[in-house]
Structures are given as structure tokens and as C-alpha cells.
Amino acid sequence: MSGEENSTSATNATKVWTTLITNTDYLSGLLTLDFSLRKSQSKYPLLVLYTDSFPPEGHAVLDARGILKRRVPYLLPKVSKDFVNDVRFYDCWSKLTPFSLVQYERVVQLDSDMVVLKNMDELMELELDAPELAGEGPRVFAASHACVCNPLKKAHYPKDWVPSNCAYTSQHSTPQVAQETGAPSTTGLGIPNGGLQVVNPSQAIYDKIVAQLSSSATSNYEFADQSLLGDIFYGRWVALPYIYNALKTLRREGVHDPIWVDENVKNVHYILSPKPWDEDPNPETRTSADSTHAWWWKVNGERLEEKKANGWSDQF
């Protein structure tokens, strides 16, 4: 069964969006991501990467909607890292599997807690190293920087996660540039955010990743997949502007609001809890202080109208 695609697989597609799912907690987010990609008129299909832990009721939801899917292995490092403070990171290692999908020319991996506001098909054409370079070139993959400001002041985050070490801070004085270009990949701590990864799949690169998962280095990776990528490919990835992976916390006053421009954002990433689908969208009763959640609720509302029109009766 490993590596099989379902019967609705777009076998002729050479470029795909992918998103990972391991349980139904993120399924509402995934469905809204899929809807938002279609609403943005993307030319490319979404392929859901699922692990064996994804339950039958989840498969039924995807199959009813004709959403493409493919089984991938549940990756874990040989030397386990204790993510008791952020259990979500146990699932994140499997977000490295797109590097192995060599039947595709280009894969853009998206987290399921994202919503696409504008077409970003240009990521399918972004120049990256050819697979033949085996991960030794200067443009192994593309991603936006991780924000290392720790705006929520989480005590278990690394001590060097402070605004002065954040790549986005370096762009505060040039906000127009920040809309179009990411700070060099070595800026600040030089760590990519794993929420969006632009990849030319390569067995050689994937072999490097799997080898690293078998090393003791993973015991020091505080942020799973993105820590690993930032380590073994340090300075050899393409930094995208924030607009492709607009972490909702960047917009907050005192974080990176000097560079955030609402109308330029192409893809919002709803990092951290609560997720918008876990909150009350009613403006009279909701408690969320994050205004970006309303953007998700609007798109989700349109998705639910489509669900009703198609007679899909599941809870998602």
C-alpha cells in the first residue's frame, strides 16, 4: 500500500500542492485550504499526504469530495526529541516526505492551517536546483523564514529566539522590499518555516534527510522538520517573502507590523492555538482577538455553502 494514490489521482500532473494530515483535528482546515486553492484559480491540484493514523471517516470525507490523496510513511527520528510542550511537532517530521515524491517535477508543501487569499502558482515556476545536484547546490528548496521573535513569550523556546535574531526584523526599514524579497537565508538564525516548502523532489536529497533522522543531531532540533532543514541545508535555500507564508502573529503590533500589508498577503498561516475552526465565528459572541481569523471564517463560510450545495452531510 505504501506510496499508492487513490483512484482519482491526477496521474498526468507534474506539479502539485501537497498537505499532510495524520488525524481529523485539522480536517476542517484542510478542506478550507483546498477550497481556497480552487477559489484562487490555481492550475494545480492538491494532493493530500496521509499517514496510517488517518481514520476511515477522514478518508470518506476526502473521497466524497474527490480530493486526491497518497499514503506516506510516518517519519520519526531515531533519537527522539521530547516535544511535551509542543506535541504537534511529533507529526511534523512527516512533512519532509515531499522530497521523496520523485514522480513529480515540483511539489509545494502547505500546512493545513493555511488559507490562500491570492493565486500563487508562480511558486511552481521558481528556479531551484535540479534534482541531479543531489542537495549540494545553492537553491535546494524555497521557504519563508521562521519568525524567531517568540511573541507569546513561551518559556520553553530557545533563548536566542528574540527579535534581534529574526530575519523579518532586518526588513523593518525596507517594508516595500519585504513584499517582494525574503531576507537572505542566512539572516538571523537562518531557519526556514516548515509551513510552506517549495521542492524539486530528489531521492538523493531525501536520502540525506533520512540519514539525518538516523543521527543524534535530531535530539537538539527544537522545531522538528524546519530545524533539520535549516541545519543540513544552512544558507542553501531560497528565502521567500513573508506574503507566501504570512504567519498570523507577524501582523500583531510590535511584532512585524511594519512590513505587513494586508492586500499583499497571498497565504495566511494560522500558527499556534487556537485555530480558527476551533473558535466561534459569530462576531457577537466570539472571543478571538486575532482579526485574521475572520479571513478564514469568510472563506470557510463559502466552502460550507459549496458543501451544502453538493449534499455532503459529514460534520466537516
The per-residue pLDDT for range 189-213, each reduced to its tens digit, is: 999 999 999 999 999 999 999 999 9
Structural domain for 176, as ranges: 15-310
CATH code where residue 129 lies: 3.90.550.10
Weakest mean pLDDT among 61-65, 179-183, 207-211: 207-211
- Whether 54 is in a domain gets the answer yes
CA distance 74 to 88: 13
pLDDT at 6: 46
- Whether 274 is in a domain gets the answer yes
**117-135 average pLDDT score:** 97
pTM of the complete model beyond 0.95:
no
pLDDT > 50? residue 3? no
Q: At what angle do helices 27-39 and 56-64 cross, to 10 degrees?
A: 20
Instruction: Please write the tens of the pLDDT for every residue from 135-153.
Output: 999 999 999 999 999 999 9
pLDDT at 237: 98
- Whether 36 is in a domain gets the answer yes
**12-28 average pLDDT score:** 95
Average pLDDT, the chain: 91
pLDDT > 90? residue 301? yes
What's the structural domain count of the chain? Answer: 1
Confidence band of 220 (pLDDT split at 50, 70, 90)? confident
pLDDT at 288: 66
- Whether 5 is in a domain gets the answer no
- Whether 268 is in a domain gets the answer yes
- Whether 229 is in a domain gets the answer yes
- Whether 165 is in a domain gets the answer yes
- Whether 2 is in a domain gets the answer no
Percent of the chain with pLDDT over 70: 92
